[in-house]
Amino acid sequence: WLGLKKIYSITQQGSYLLRIELQDWRGNRRHIEYSFSLGGPSSNFSLQLARRAGSIPNALPEHARLRFSTGDTAPASRCPQSHLGGWWHSECEETNLNGKYVTPRSRGRLDRGKGLYWKPKKGRYYLLKSTKIMIHPTDLKSF
């Protein structure tokens, strides 16, 4: 984990894309790309997204400012406490890529919500084996 302060510092140097790669327990790999902006510490590293491409349905709200929260910093939101790990939660059920590593053998409803998952608004849970979150400049020529 690179850390929010370092990612914020990097993104202040220009325009970047966010790419999320997901692998489920059957070996299927999918991805989604967003143009994004990341706020600094004073905004709780708020994230604003706009989908650009991908092979998986969107599970994060677009054009909304999502605040990064953890169990010890978000008393108004129960998502980090009940779903483990810090994340940009808007609703507790859309996605959690910083949760507990849960294998398919423990698919109980309570465990699934604490694991790594991606859940589109009107879709099913994708219980994940691995995730990658990457950024790169929109203009690779200047990189």
First-to-last alpha carbon distance for the chain, in angstroms, is: 22
Q: What is the average pLDDT across 27-55?
A: 94
Round to whole Å and give the CA distance between 52 and 16. Answer: 12
Which is more confident, 142 or 8?
8
What pLDDT is stored for residue 99 in this prediction? 76
**Model pLDDT for residues 58-104, shown as the tens digit of each residue:** 888 888 888 887 766 654 555 555 556 677 766 666 787 877 787 77
What pLDDT is stored for residue 16 in this prediction? 93
The reported pTM is 0.82
What pLDDT is stored for residue 110 in this prediction? 46
Q: Which CATH class is domain 4-137?
A: alpha beta
Structure tokens at 130: 């691995």
What pLDDT is stored for residue 105 in this prediction? 67
Sorted by where each begins, the domain ranges of the chain are 4-137
